[in-house]
Structure 1
Amino acid sequence: MTLNNGVEIPQIQLGTWLINNDDVRKVVCQAIGVGYRSFDTAKDYGNEKGVGKGIWNSDIERSDIFLTTKLPTAVKDYEGTKEAIDDALDRFSLEYIDLLLIHSPQPWIEVNRTDDRHFEGNLENWRAMEEAVKAGKVRAIGVSNFLQEDVANIVDNGTIKPAVNQIEVHIDKVPMDLMNYCKSLGIQIEAYSPLAHGRLLKDPKINEYANKYNVSPAQLMLAFDLQLGCIVLPKSDNIAEMKEKLHIDFRINDEDMEKLIKLKERDQNVAV
């Protein structure tokens, strides 16, 4: 896919959340071996150094790898952001980051505990990130877990429009209003947890649709997000699962897509 600044990005990336720093180097190498060319990590995952080693230890040119990372959520100031970007480059032992995101509008410690959206702090993040783009340290910048008001704050006050908003999207969670708002601004949606943390893989209805298309439940769920136009970030440290999730070569018909969008909503209404 092509981001709003012309940078190309693979539509399927390997997520690395919860893969520890010691194991992730091998996981990245294995993933590159089966065809992945894009990886998503974050300072708060604690595995950036291992991801960097995995990229270094592969036989693939750096220019053929797309790397995404995210600022630590506790940092909401200009100088701290500049330092965090340089520290990330040091941990990766790389000259540039392909995509850098503000991980959350709020520090983790405040999520669901305060209404403070840190508008000024996020703009300080953004100012330093824009400078990093101009300095060639970062190719594209974006946000994650941002609501519409958070996105508007950046769009209205920054000089570079966010390239992506990375949010949770899967069959059980389709925030269509936010997705449509971002798309109207040319901001690409990245879908994390596209498999709903695995809790829907045994869902009878999802398995029914998977059987219809002769695919696994995981492949059905990934195809769902891909057809919504999302970049998807499945996570796996298993080679067979990596291959399965990378090769989505079927299409869900339009009628079934509409039913899947409303599937869990309907089930919840019935339960009530």
Structure 2
Amino acid sequence: MAPIAITPEASPEREIYVKKSVQVRSHSSSFSSIKLNDGNVIPQVALGVYKAPNGQETEDAVTAALDAGYRHIDSAARYANEEACGRAIRRWLERTGTPRDEVFICSKLWDADHGFEATFNALCESLDKFGLDYLDLYLIHSPAEDEEKRLESWRALETAQRLGKVKSIGVSNFGASHIESLLENARVVPAVNQVEVHPFCQRQALVDLCNENGIRIEAYSPLARGNKLQDPTICAIAEKYGKTSAQVLLNWSASRGNVVLPKSLTAHRIQSNLESFDFKLSPEDVAAIDNLEENYVTGSMHKSHD
């Protein structure tokens, strides 16, 4: 698809979709889906493919995830594996006869492509790489330091949504100041904010701000990149429920209403992560996990102190 030159429409009174979030049971998988503020539905667990190669290993992982029951794949232009994800998804849909609208696919705008026209063209390029007519979710991967460019990118996403190239639009790594600026200028409230969240990095003030505005939290690095799997509190709780530490961490995050994005290329771990939601943590155990907060950040993408 060739780059498309397009100009933003005059911005009418912004539309705010702040609705009560509800959970609905997916008919095609074993875990809940969540209704977003725009009325679309997102599966609560995704296969993350950060740092996954653009080849057979990633194709196999995406296929294994879909076979296991995942219906949400989270990629990004920056990950440079949209082609591999797209090949796996298209082949799986054809093999199983599953309708396209039963698999939720997300990608993200990289920092180099901020600005209205550049953003729109980047989305079209991602669609070409996936081999798809539309994405279910498209995010601004990281807030540009230039606020004007950031808002131009958001207007491009609003336009793409109106044109049907993406169903839902959102942001990633946005702090409170970025969210507040966007809310003051946007026609459409972001459906999600994808940020690092786990028991050791809870970002409660930012989470509260998003919740107040109907913006769903997507928790990336929900396992703290594996660095906290030996934490004594988590290990003790895992033993109590006959679960792994990873399953406890994922359960905690999902129980807070977050969409969780565990990453794995290993079939048995992909399956194990999917088995994290068939038990309920007691209030006492939730409180013990809540008390683990230490602002432990594993990545460098979050560009704010909240």
Q: Is the 8 A contact 1:70 1:103 kept in 2?
A: yes
101, 109, 134: which one pairs with 1:96? 134
Q: Does 1:14 align with 2:52?
A: no
Say if 2:222 and 2:260, in contact at 8 Å, map to a contact too.
yes
Does 1:130 pair with 2:158?
Answer: yes
Q: Deviations over 1:183-206 (max 9, x none)?
A: 000000000000000011122221
Identity of aligned pairs, percent?
40
Cα distance, 1:93 vs structure 2: 0.7
Distance in 1 of aligned mates of 2:39 and 2:283:
29
Deviation digits for residues 102-150 of structure 1 (CA, Å, limit 9, x no counterpart): 00013xxxxxxxxxx3211110110110000000000000000000110
Q: TM-score, normalised by structure 2?
A: 0.82
Letter in 2 for 1:257: V
Consecutive unaligned residues in structure 2, runs of 5 or more: 1-33, 296-306
1:30 pairs with 2:68: no
Question: Are 2:218 and 1:190 equivalent residues in the alignment?
Answer: yes
Structure with the higher helix share, 1 or 2: 1
Q: How many residues align?
A: 257
CA shift for structure 1 position 240: 1.1
Secondary structure at the counterpart of residue 263 of structure 1: coil
Partner SS state of residue 21, structure 1: coil
Structure 1 Cα separation of the partners of residues 283 and 106 of structure 2: 31
State whether residues 202 and 293 of structure 2, in contact with CA within 8 Å, keep that contact through their aligned partners in structure 1.
no
Cα distance, 1:73 vs structure 2:
1.4
- Check whether the contact 1:55–1:62 (CA below 8 A) recurs between aligned residues: no
In structure 2, the residue matched to 1:111 is: none
1:241 is the counterpart of 2:241: no
Give the Cα separation in 2 of the matches to 1:161 and 1:264. Answer: 29
What is aligned with 2:120?
82
Aligned to 1:119: 147
Provide the secondary structure at the position in 2 that maps to 1:9: strand
Q: Secondary structure at the match of 2:202?
A: coil
* 1:61 Cα deviation from its structure 2 partner: 2.2
TM-score (norm 1): 0.92
Residue among 153, 174, 177 paired with 1:146 = 174
Q: 1-side partners of 2:292 and 2:183: how far apart? A: 33
CA drift of 1:216 comes to: 0.5
Which residue does 1:4 correspond to in 2?
37
Task: Give, in angstroms, the shift of residue 26 of structure 1.
Answer: 1.6
| Partner Cα distance (2:250, 2:54) in 1 | 26
1:57 match: secondary structure? helix
SS in 1 for 2:291: helix
Q: How far 1:264 moved relative to its partner?
A: 4.6
What CA deviation, in whole Å up to 9, does each residue of 1:192-245 have, x standing for no partner?
Answer: 000000011122221011111111100000011011110000011111111111
Q: Which of 50, 54, 57 is matched with 2:88 structurally?
A: 54
- Root-mean-square deviation (CA, aligned residues, Å) is 1.4
1:199 matched to 2:227? The reply is yes
Corresponding residue of 1:222: 250
* Counterparts of 1:263 and 1:149, CA distance in 2: 26
- Describe the superposition over 1:29-53 as per-residue Cα deviations: whole angstroms up to 9, x where unpaired: 1111111110000000000111110
Instruction: Tell me how far apart the structure 1 counterparts of residues 293 and 42 of structure 2 sit (CA, whole Å).
Output: 30
Q: Tell me the distance in 2 between the aligned counterparts of 1:180 and 1:6.
A: 21
The answer on 1:252 being equivalent to 2:286 is: no
* Residue number in structure 2 paired with 1:43: 77
Partner secondary structure for residue 292 of structure 2: helix
